[in-house]
Structure 1
Amino acid sequence: MSASGVLSFTQQGWEQVLAKVKRAVVYLDSACAESLHWGCGSTRLLEAVGGPDCHLREFEPDAVGGGAKQPKAVLVLSCLLKGRTVEILRDIICRSHFQYCVVVTAVSHAVHLTANHVPAAAAAEMEGQQPVFEQLEEKLCEWMGNMNYTAEVFHVPLLLAPVAPHFALTPAFASLFPLLPQDVHLLNSTRPDKRKLGSLGDVDATALTPELLLQIRCLVSGLSSLCEHLGVREECFAVGSLSRVIAADLANYAPAKNRKKTAAGRASVVFMDRTLDLTGAVGHHGDNLVEKIISALPQLPGHTNDVMVNMIELTALQTEESKL
């Protein structure tokens, strides 16, 4: 996988977003903000917004709405447009004066169909249609107070935060963690005696909770989009119980069948449970400068992979307190 391919995948996604943000109030959730930070930078977004004022806000329940002179909003979200996310979306719009609202989600429409319990056969018949997004567009107009206002909902695979040429992170899946031995007992609590799991080695997709399966499907959808951008047909390998489930889901991902038939290149994708190296993964040995920096400095708010550096001592803005 080329470094330029990963970076261009992220930048191409953000270019689709930037094309919509001119003179808009822009709301980002934490994962998308992190992808923007590493992919093309907030400066690029502010340049695309234009205008004398900065209208960049965090997508949260208490987010400030748009004023009377702010008719346009763009909301960039890393998650499914469902449940609490839609409630926050509604609340922000209802306390604003928007007339044009664009919602960008990093989750594909195919996954939204899965989240809404649409059978696979019915979903296959909807190819080229986006009923979930269309229904939300109607809701957006309703919340804006006029069905003649403009609403758009579309998918852009903002999966990666490319922190280095050959190293990218997936901020939206920072909480996705492999199963531990004690999780087997939790999974067994809802299974009949004849279908009890003996160990993590017995875990498959049918044993997982619907919430975890949906999170895995969101990841798989993003990885499939990456493979499509790179023009490759992937061969999946896995080490670990959860990795086996993810690899199998990617290998059998129905929306990717046509891509795999026409892809010119091939790529090997190796999934590995980090619990297989838990001590090394969470250890802080201080053997190198980067590790010392990450260990000593406070985390950048809203980010999972960056820290804050106090630059006040390099300026003339020192307060009496900072001089002590």
Structure 2
Amino acid sequence: MLTAEDFTQLPLLMWEKVFAKVKKAVVFMDDRSAEALHWSGGAGALLQAGARNVKQFSSFEACGENEPKAVFVVSTLLKGRTVDIIKDIISLSHFQYCVVFTAVPHSVHLFANNVSTEMDGFPVFEQFEEKLCEWMGNMNYTAEVMHSPVVFAPVSQQLIVASPFAHLFPLLPADLASINAKRPEKKRFGTLSDLDGHSLPVELQIEIKSLVSALNSMFEAAGMREESFAVGPMSRIIAGELANHNQAKNRRKTAPSKASIIFIDRTMDLTGAVGHHGDNLVEKMLTVLDPLPGHVTDVQVDMLELTSVQRTPHSQNTVAPGCLAQTQWASRALSQMLQTLKCCRGRTRKNTSVPARFKCTLSAPLATGTVYVDRSSMAKPTLCICTSLESRTFELHWQRAQSFPQSPSEPRRPVICPSWTLMSRLESVQCGQSRAWVAEVL
């Protein structure tokens, strides 16, 4: 049976299919896919897999003659604007090899094209491969189109979110009126509970089918057969769609493990959504800090206070913001640093000479950051860390801190540490025009 840690590794397995294709390629990603990757290693994972560059999925992007390979990762159907952007990028570049990953399965592409029966192979993807070769200017060039459900983000060992579906919201009475307005009077629904999946707008049906397919892929990777429970009209429709999913039926016949999945409409559980009691650290962070640009599940941490850059109205974009997401190597770095603190604490008890104030500098190919540690009180050391590091390799350099306040009367340098699992207490501190976090190390 899978442990909680094994289960949170499943989103990373979904990305392995993408990582296997990015060697020597320029990767183009839309915002939803980029946010999912943000929690699964970030751009550093693509670069470590061999990618040459990572660019925004936009018609204003292109590549040079020395970049013949491209990988597109999108979270939408291969129709409409998505197709137009891919065509624009290819037309402005000199690609000879294109790979397209879509988070929408082939069965949903058939549904979107009004094909109600299952077909052998992947005709929609095969037709799009021919279009890619046509846009590249040579039918002998290589093009691949495939499905990979890269929609899940492992926020913690107990929480996995599907950020591409953040806009999917339960049905409201206004939606019922809109649906009934397009139906004959005798076939109108009385309540939201009377709705079925076929009565919903096509766009909403596509979203639900895509979500169900992604859930099925996760359960299949985990080798589980689910027992579904639903609370609310929308949840009942999603649970019914999962129960009738063809691939899910086959999976449940052979899956060795069993699990329960509970679907709950957000409108049926508003207590937690509207409450601001502040019982946990994550809630404080999500409430006080601004959202990370282009994201719905992460927040931006002001890193300007950790530098000597003067705060002006134009300095907001001078230093890239930090965030809550951490790669595995960053967690290991924190653990190693905390272990060093424990060793220093033990040496102090033995009257061994240890600097009272020192700093740890994290050096990495993609970013650098400084960790300040105040050991003036060994019982409650204070930790400060830059969280925007993306590299998996790092070096630790210990040295005395020259810029740290030398007297208790001087203001304490603001510290930031979004690694809530390592903190025993968190306080919000006003620092000029911004707000920083002060935390005590466990």
Do the two structures share a fold, i.e. TM-score over 0.5? yes
Distance in 1 between residues matched to 2:92 and 2:42, nearest whole Å: 29
2:38 aligns with 37
Distance in 1 between residues matched to 2:23 and 2:42, nearest whole Å: 16
Residues 26 and 51 of structure 2 are in contact (CA less than 8 Å); yes or no, is this contact kept in structure 1? Answer: no
Deviations 1:270-323 (A, max 9, x none): 11101112353144444443223222222111211101112122123x036269
Distance in 2 between residues matched to 1:2 and 1:112, nearest whole Å: 34
Letter in 2 for 1:36: L
- In the superposition, relative to structure 1, how do residues 102 and 196 fare at CA in structure 2: closer, same or farther (>3 Å)? same
Residues 27 and 51 of structure 2 are in contact (CA less than 8 Å); yes or no, is this contact kept in structure 1? Answer: no
Q: 1:68 aligns with which of 45, 65, 70?
A: 65
Letter in 1 for 2:264: M
Q: Percent identity?
A: 54
Higher relative contact order (CA 8 A, sep 6+): 1
2:99 aligns with 102
Deviations 1:253-283 (A, max 9, x none): 0132222221112221111101112353144
Letter in 2 for 1:303: H
Residues 238 and 271 of structure 1 are in contact (CA less than 8 Å); yes or no, is this contact kept in structure 2? Answer: yes
Q: What's the secondary structure of 1:271's corresponding residue? A: strand
Deviations 1:116-165 (A, max 9, x none): 11123xx1x42xx1111111111001111111111111111212101010
Q: Report 1:207-218 matches (<5 A).
A: 207-218=199-210
Distance in 1 between residues matched to 2:56 and 2:274, nearest whole Å: 29
Deviations 1:89-110 (A, max 9, x none): 1111111111111111112112
Which structure 1 segments of 5+ residues have no match?
none
Deviations 1:196-220 (A, max 9, x none): 1111121111321111111100001
2:88 aligns with 91
Q: What's the secondary structure of 2:9's corresponding residue? A: helix
Q: Report 1:281-296 matches (<5 A).
A: 281-296=273-288
Residues 299 and 308 of structure 1 are in contact (CA less than 8 Å); yes or no, is this contact kept in structure 2? Answer: yes
Residues 110 and 255 of structure 1 are in contact (CA less than 8 Å); yes or no, is this contact kept in structure 2? Answer: no
Aligned pairs, how many?
Answer: 314
Q: 1:80 aligns with which of 77, 81, 84?
A: 77
Q: 2:134 aligns with which of 142, 145, 155?
A: 142
Which structure 2 segments of 5+ residues have no match?
316-431, 434-442
Q: What's the secondary structure of 1:319's corresponding residue? A: coil
TM-score by length of 2: 0.68
Residues 115 and 214 of structure 1 are in contact (CA less than 8 Å); yes or no, is this contact kept in structure 2? Answer: yes
1:167 aligns with 159
Distance in 2 between residues matched to 1:303 and 1:2, nearest whole Å: 29
Letter in 1 for 2:24: R
Distance in 2 between residues matched to 1:28 and 1:154, nearest whole Å: 15
2:215 aligns with 223
1:272 aligns with 264
- In the superposition, relative to structure 1, how do residues 320 and 5 fare at CA in structure 2: closer, same or farther (>3 Å)? closer
- In the superposition, relative to structure 1, how do residues 143 and 203 fare at CA in structure 2: closer, same or farther (>3 Å)? same
2:231 aligns with 239
Letter in 2 for 1:255: Q
- Structure showing greater radius of gyration is 2
Let me know the Cα RMSD of the aligned residues.
1.8
TM-score by length of 1: 0.91
1:182 aligns with 174
